[in-house]
Amino acid sequence: MNRPASEKNGVDVISAIQRAGIVGCGGAGFPTHAKLKGDIHHLILNGAECEPLLRTDRYLMIHHAAQIVSAATAVKQAVGAQQCTIALKGSYQEEIASLERAIREQDAPISIHKMKSFYPAGDEQVIVAEVTQQVIPPAGIPLDVGCVVSNVGTMYNIALALEGKNVTHKYLTVSGMVKKPTVICVPLGTSFAQCLELAGGIPEGDWMAIAGGPMMGRRLTRDQALEASVIKTTSGILILPIDSLPARKEQITLLHMYQRARSSCIQCRRCTDLCPRHLLGHPLEPHRIMRQMATLALDGNTTDSRILKSAALCCECGICETFACPMQLQPRRVNAMLKQELAREKVRWNKGEGQQEPSLWREGRKAPTKRVAARAGVLEYYDRCGTAGLMQETPDQVTLPLRQHIGAPPTVLVTVGEQVSAGQLIAAAPEGALSANLHASIDGVVVSVGDAIVIRKEG
């Protein structure tokens, strides 16, 4: 018989998380069991869901508050944290009521921190500063100030893991120009096409898709989207017209972007003044990066300049290009390119270097979420998806990529023709590596093994 989550000891909890294959639901997918190691004083649950249009975490906080609170209590005890806080926007009244009720009923040692509605409230460096008034050092992580930040969706998966259930399904938002925007719950590996069917069908004509939110999500063409499948980090599928602002921006080539930076940047420094990391005192100044890029040849060395190296501190939230820049330039994309180059050359920013005091203007320079949505060209879809209903479906076939998280892919344990059951381990994290287990999400037979495992339902 399974013990209640709050009665499990630390080893039980961490082992259950590792066994279930849990990774972060709200970001890059860091394996959660590895994240919970270290000297943790403050466990922070991220319920901000700051990306415009997404409603997944809000749905979970309304409908599964008891599981989230129970899991948070268990994790707090397991890691020996002195404090546990759920941070979300004060405007999320129904979510707050559900969480407060669960905390009260469980007598849980958890507090709620209500934030203003701004973007990117859910960035882990921002949320730590909001909750604790501490600033994570440049190139640092929350653990540097004794904190761990975990998404509420991740915490819900932990609740299931403590009941002996592995990660097999994913909650996500399907919105944009679909007929019936909705939150859905589908097995991992479900095709985006089937997800769109749950939201009223695949839109006709050409369109673009975003896997994630409109600010930081991965841009996909129509064909790419119809070939994609849901993984552990898929927070949403947004469908936008091919002539929408995000689509038009994506069509700008790297060469054109450089040329525009050279000819159009007016050095107003609005991108720097509104940068969330700069406002925390980090030495990131996008306007100076743009100025230096304008003077470099396209094949120039980007790793010798301290200014260009500072791009490594960028969280790619997109405030600079979507909300700040009056010339519609793209500092975020420039920084993303520089980060890739720095990573290839194994150039890193020294932790803590260049830290200044947080800006005195930080509070007044927070970007309101709805204004960000308007500047991003997605305001018409802002309130289309609610949190009342849920669509679910089990497909006849799933495609499960091995790479669903940061770190090494798991090692395949199954062969073509093998019968598998939902929840069965089909790829195991290598011993000692940063990785996560992968489980079958439906009952069926393995029909393909490679970079992904394909399982087809029989009958």
**CATH code where residue 24 lies:** 3.40.50.11540
Integer Cα distance of 335 and 105 in angstroms: 47
The pair phi, psi for residue 89, each rounded to 5°, is -75, 140
- pLDDT tens, position by position, 7-23: 566 669 999 999 999 99
30 lies in the same domain as 78: yes
Please give the pLDDT value at position 255: 82
Give the angle subtended at the CA of 375 by the CAs of 369 and 378, to the nearest 5°: 80
Task: State the CATH number of the domain containing residue 420.
Answer: 2.40.50
Strand partners, 400: 453
pLDDT for the residue numbered 1:
39
Pair (401, 356) in one structural domain: no
pLDDT score at 39: 92
Cα three-residue angle 166-433-144, rounded to 5 degrees:
95
Same-domain status, 369 and 401: no
Cα distances (Å, whole numbers) of residue 111 to 73, 77, 99, 114, 148: 11, 15, 10, 10, 15
CA gap 233, 223 in Å, rounded: 21
Tell which of 344, 375, 406 closes a domain.
375
Let me know whether 37 and 107 are in one domain: yes
Mean pLDDT score across all residues of the chain: 94
Same domain, 56 and 105: yes
Domain hosting 137: range is 5-161
Q: In the prediction, which pLDDT does 7 show? A: 53
| Residue 258: per-residue pLDDT | 79
Could you count the other beta carbons within 10 Å of the beta carbon of residue 133? Answer: 8
Query: What region, left, alpha or beta, does residue 168 occupy, with left being phi > 0 and alpha being psi -120 to 50 degrees?
Result: alpha
- The owner of tokens 């990660």 is 167
Verify that 51 and 152 share a domain, yes or no.
yes
Please choose, from the candidates 433, 376, 382, the residue with its C-alpha nearest in 3D space to the C-alpha of residue 408: 433
Per-residue model confidence as pLDDT tens digits over 26-38: 778 999 999 999 8
pLDDT tens-digit profile, the chain (459 residues): 344 455 566 669 999 999 999 999 977 899 999 999 989 999 999 999 989 999 999 999 999 999 999 999 999 999 999 999 999 999 999 999 999 999 999 999 999 999 999 999 999 999 999 999 999 999 999 999 999 999 999 999 999 999 999 999 999 999 999 999 999 999 999 999 999 999 999 999 999 999 999 999 999 999 999 999 999 999 999 999 999 999 999 888 888 887 888 888 898 999 999 999 999 999 999 999 998 887 775 455 666 689 999 999 999 999 999 999 999 899 999 999 999 999 999 999 999 999 999 999 999 999 999 999 999 999 999 999 989 889 999 999 999 999 999 999 999 999 999 999 999 999 999 999 999 999 999 999 999 999 999 999 986
Residue 237 is assigned to a structural domain of this protein:
no
pTM, rounded to two decimals: 0.94
Q: In total, how many domains does the chain have?
A: 3
Enclosing H/E stretch for 57: helix 56-63
Could you tell me the two tokens for 206?
Answer: 């050409």
Start-to-end Cα distance in the chain: 34
Which of 288, 287, 295, 232 minimizes the C-alpha distance to 263? 295
324 and 409 inside one domain: no
Identify whether 82 is part of a domain: yes
Q: Do 77 and 15 form a contact (C-beta atoms < 8 A)?
A: no
Q: Is residue 92 part of a domain?
A: yes
Is 107 in the same domain as 29?
Answer: yes
Euclidean distance between CA atoms 137 and 204, whole angstroms = 48
What letters, b where the CB count within 10 A reaches 16 and e where it falls short, cover 271-283?
A: bbbbbbbbbbbbb
Domain boundary pick from 375, 410, 430: 375
**Coil, strand or helix at 401:** strand
Residues 286 and 427 in one domain: no
Is 401 within the bounds of a domain? yes
- SS3 of 305, please? coil
Q: What pLDDT does residue 300 have?
A: 55
Q: What is the pLDDT of residue 453?
A: 98
The 8-class DSSP code of residue 36 comes to: T
Asked if residue 241 is part of any domain, the answer here is no
Asked whether residue 366 is assigned to any structural domain, the reply reads yes
Report yes or no on 248 lying in a domain. Answer: no
| 3-class secondary-structure state, position 299 | coil
**Is residue 388 situated within a structural domain?**
no
Q: Looking at the structure, do residues 127 and 9 belong to the same domain, yes or no?
A: yes
Residues 350 and 435 in one domain: no
Residues 340 and 429 in one domain: no
Residues near 54 by beta carbon (within 8 Å), at least 6 away in sequence: 173, 175, 212, 213, 235, 236
